[in-house]
Structure 1
């Protein structure tokens, strides 16, 4: 009984810790009109064409980054667990490097390596710079995506599923796409959500590469206005939670999830 009380108390403290700043931000964002609450700050944000341009750009970049992350991480985590378990400490160390190396160091390295005077001048065109930025986002999200997928692989019997699929004549592409991926779909979606949140709020790489992303726009508005940054923060928070809800709904309605519940 005492353990249950302490558990509920810890949960209540956590909710208060996260809810109070959000409530304060919402309340402040409604005070643009003197003496009364209004949605003027939100109206200004939605009418600003830069908001639509930067947010849509970051959403597209997030989707491409998630796709690239899945294509890189799922086969890598699968092969490490299936064929090369001794390499797991090395792979985990490599995936932790983006947490140790500051983003500003990574992006300066990219600019130095892929500038217009290099063999592969990605910064010479807008498309190439977008590809470079996406690679940077994939690097920043690598620790979270890899650990999410690795946790999902630990929860299933990878070797038995692989041998069963091979006995039915399935190739490696079929095994990864139709056997392994559906079984770790929840873990992949968790990593995708974290990647989406990282891309939406990232500032350093997008600013130094001069791309019209949402992070630099949020910083620009915060430096020049008072109430609109709070409204932007609330909007970004709501959209992020909406996307998380869609991920959970997709997971709940997936055929593999229904089969497991039945």
Structure 2
């Protein structure tokens, strides 16, 4: 019995070492930019680069727009399927996992074919159009994760009862979605949003083929020109991913309507005149 109980612990430790040892080695290497001493010179060099500031800003904005569009697309769809079209749910689930099967290269060339020169909507001919295609690509890539998160969140609540209660109070279907459904699946939306952000931030294929100044192609370019800065960027990317996973766990464990931070009680002092 002791051997059986010890076996999962050994597997867990080995799996942890498998992931942590390369990360620790990468972090140590990123500190060796100055010969003979450990320093954060590589990180300082990265943050002082104007290109880094531009690409990280572009990626953050594009990821946030993709999160908003993904939530606006997935939440009403999952709500309507669960409420009115339960027989269509297997088909919707199949469609939602297609981005995991179809390579990103195929997706990009499909965009270029449909929205290229001679198209009724030539988005590839302008910078704004390319940015729109990039955001749409992010939404498509994150669709399996966003849909699964939202669908599982809706499975935990009684959609039909909440809808009937809202309609009995005179709420329209749109107001029901905005004021009732969204708050009750807030944790699921936040979980999907963090996963979308992590995927979009490091995406390379779509961003590179659309020639957008984002974080993924920047990391590859830095890796071709420098030695220590790419290691620093890799460590920062891991750190950002872990932070978002922790935030996802924090928001996901909170009940609907619960405050993020507890309200502080401030005592009132009354000045007594002489």
Tell whether the structures are fold-level matches, with TM greater than 0.5: yes
Q: Does 1:117 align with 2:131?
A: no
Compute the displacement of 1:250 (Å): 5.5
Compute the displacement of 1:236 (Å): 1.9
Larger Rg: 2
> Alpha carbon RMSD of aligned pairs, Å?
2.1
Tell me what 1:193 maps to. 194
Structure 1 window deviating more from structure 2 (225-234 vs 7-16): it is 7-16
Compute the displacement of 1:245 (Å): 4.3
Is the alpha carbon distance of 1:117 and 1:29 closer, same or farther for their aligned partners in structure 2, counting shifts above 3 Å?
Answer: same
Q: Does 1:107 align with 2:108?
A: yes
Q: Does 1:85 align with 2:110?
A: no
Tell me what 2:140 maps to. 139
Tell me what 1:34 maps to. 35
Unaligned residue ranges in structure 1 (runs of 5+): none
Q: Does 1:221 align with 2:222?
A: yes
2:191–2:251 CA contact under 8 A, matched in 1: no
Provide the C-alpha distance between the structure 2 equivalents of 1:214 and 1:41, rounded to a whole number of angstroms.
17
Is the alpha carbon distance of 1:221 and 1:96 closer, same or farther for their aligned partners in structure 2, counting shifts above 3 Å?
Answer: same
Tell me what 2:267 maps to. none
Q: Does 1:236 align with 2:243?
A: no
Structure 1 window deviating more from structure 2 (174-183 vs 76-85): it is 174-183
CA offsets per residue over residues 17-41 of structure 1, 9 Å max, x none?
Answer: 3222221111111111222211111
Is the alpha carbon distance of 1:163 and 1:119 closer, same or farther for their aligned partners in structure 2, counting shifts above 3 Å?
Answer: same
Q: Which has the higher helix share?
A: 1
Q: TM-score, normalised by structure 1?
A: 0.91
Tell me what 1:43 maps to. 44
Unaligned residue ranges in structure 2 (runs of 5+): 261-274
Is the alpha carbon distance of 1:253 and 1:150 closer, same or farther for their aligned partners in structure 2, counting shifts above 3 Å?
Answer: closer
Compute the displacement of 1:199 (Å): 0.6
